[in-house]
């Protein structure tokens, strides 16, 4: 099975850089796992947004889009759970 390429929107990359190191480490591990399995157990498709999915990493949510045609995962947002869906 081919691996998916991980891409970040500029805004998601900026959000990621602002986080504390221990949280970044946990998020990076979860995001890297999307290369092999972009639809992991616990992933939810967002109802309010077309083709967006989310995974939970502690109190943080990673909102992302999957493009199976080019085998790409694009991280759209990384936010604390209380801010993730606003």
Give the C-alpha separation, 54 to 65, whole Å.
9
The two tokens of residue 22 are 């221990």
Q: Write down the CATH number for the domain with range 5-80.
A: 3.30.2310.20
Bridge partners of residue 60, in order along the sequence: 57, 80
Q: What is the pLDDT along the chain (86 residues), one digit of tens a residue?
A: 679 999 999 999 999 999 999 999 999 999 999 999 999 998 899 887 778 999 999 999 999 999 999 999 999 999 998 776 55
User: What residue segments make up the domains of the chain, in order of their start?
Assistant: 5-80
Rounded to whole angstroms, the Cα distance separating 26 from 79 reads 13
DSSP 4: P
Give the C-alpha separation, 56 to 81, whole Å: 9
- Nearest partner of 12 among 69, 68, 60, judged by Cα: 60
Global pTM value: 0.89
């Amino acid at each position: 099975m081919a691996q998916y390429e991980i891409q970040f929107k500029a805004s998601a990359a900026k959000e990621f850089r602002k986080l504390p190191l221990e949280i970044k480490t946990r998020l990076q591990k979860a995001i890297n796992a999307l290369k092999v399995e972009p639809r992991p157990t616990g992933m939810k498709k967002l109802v309010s947004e077309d083709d967006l999915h989310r995974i939970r990493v502690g109190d943080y949510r990673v909102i992302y889009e999957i493009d199976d045609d080019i085998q790409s995962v694009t991280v759209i947002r990384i936010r604390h759970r209380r801010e993730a869906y606003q």
